Structure 1
Amino acid sequence: MLPVHTVVDSPVGPLTLVAVDGALVGLYMERQRHRPPRETFGEPGTAPFGPVIEQLAEYFAGQRDSFDVPMTLTGTPFQRTVWAALCEIPYGETVSYGELAEQIGRPTASRAVGLANGKNPISIIVPCHRVVGATGNLTGYGGGLDRKQHLLDFERSNATQPALALDY
């Protein structure tokens, strides 16, 4: 089946969502590095994007810390391993490229992990923004370091908010 796409607004700018056969295959920011050419996104359409748009809205409202949408991640076996490991990084937390390399059983592959991280086709939902340099400094982000900082600050502020106490 041919891809379809739509564009939604977000606090980090417009996000282009791309789906094939009802599964999300891409979530791209404007001027994102490794963003495929626009002509590969297919025709505009909204049919498969309802749950993705809803969950992104909940995420940006601070009401969701993980996603449950149908996705198809296309890449090498190594890239898919890295992307799966990204989904295991807890909301509001970060790991280094080296720590992620160790987690996937490839302790000397931190550079390869960084390259795979940069080619993540489903930003935000597959949280590549949660990976930082060995010293904790922000390093590389396909969507730009300002967006990475925004997402990390947003998650940290929401992760540390105490649950609301209800008085009866």
Structure 2
Amino acid sequence: MTSDDAQCLIETPLGWLGLHWRGDVLTGIDLDPPPTHHPPPSGCEPPPSITRRLEAYFSAPDTPFDLPLELNGTRFQQRVWALLRTIPVGQTCTYGEIARELGSAARAVGQACRANPCPIVVPCHRVVGRHGLGGFAGDRTGRRLAIKRWLLEHEGVLRYSTPTDSTLGPTPALKTGWTTEH
């Protein structure tokens, strides 16, 4: 993400997410965007190609993300993120399995997942610990881990016996929040 990126808040089943893009290229997704009191500028919306893909995912998670992405990171992070995009919906992989595939360490894979600029689209939520969920975007107990749990439930990996077991519930289709262009 750079200062040239346009940005916007969208409402999703996960709550508000921040989108960053340049043209039709997605450059970032914030799971915990900063709150704002600025109204959205009229006529300034995220590209329909991006919102349509996110809406499709939240309706049917097995629909592939075929968005152009700009993922800025180290060579190792790029390798991890490319491998993450090969994990199919409904499946998970451990940090250690990815590390073995790349000839690296599980902790390094976790750090690359934490640095992922486009969570959900680059599915770091499908990477789990050897003995449990692990963390998500640097969070091991809070809202972000609840998002990981919800995403895995949405993709059919986790099942809950009652609605209260999952801390995030469904909401209507995506709604646009504020948008700024630099």
| TM-score normalised by L of structure 1 | 0.78
Higher helix share: 1
TM-score (structure 2 length as normaliser): 0.72
Distance (Å, rounded) in 2 between the aligned partners of 1:95 and 1:65 = 19
Write the mapping of 1:106-145 to structure 2, written as runs, cut at 5 A: 106=103, 108-135=104-131, 137-142=132-137, 144-145=144-145
* Separation in 1, partners of 2:136, 2:61: 24
* Total equivalences in the alignment: 145
Change in CA separation of 1:78 and 1:8 when aligned onto 2, cut-off 3 Å: same
Runs of 4+ residues deviating >4 angstroms: none
Summarize the Cα distance change of 1:116–1:53 in structure 2 as closer, same or farther, 3 Å threshold: same
Change (3 A) 1:10 1:81: same
Provide the C-alpha distance between the structure 2 equivalents of 1:89 and 1:29, rounded to a whole number of angstroms: 21
Query: SS at 1:117's partner residue?
Result: helix
Once the two structures are TM-superposed, the CA of residue 157 in structure 1 deviates from its matched residue by: 6.5
Task: Report sequence identity in percent.
Answer: 38
Name stretches of at least 5 consecutive residues in structure 1 with no aligned partner. Answer: 32-36, 159-168
Deviation of residue 133 (structure 1)? Answer: 0.5
Q: Is the CA contact (8 Å cut-off) linking 1:96 and 1:133 kept in structure 2?
A: yes
Contact 2:62 2:89 in 1 (8 A): no
Query: Higher relative contact order at CA 8 Å, sep ≥6: structure 1 or structure 2?
Result: 2
Residue 12 of structure 2 corresponds to residue 17 of structure 1: no
2:60 corresponds to which residue?
62
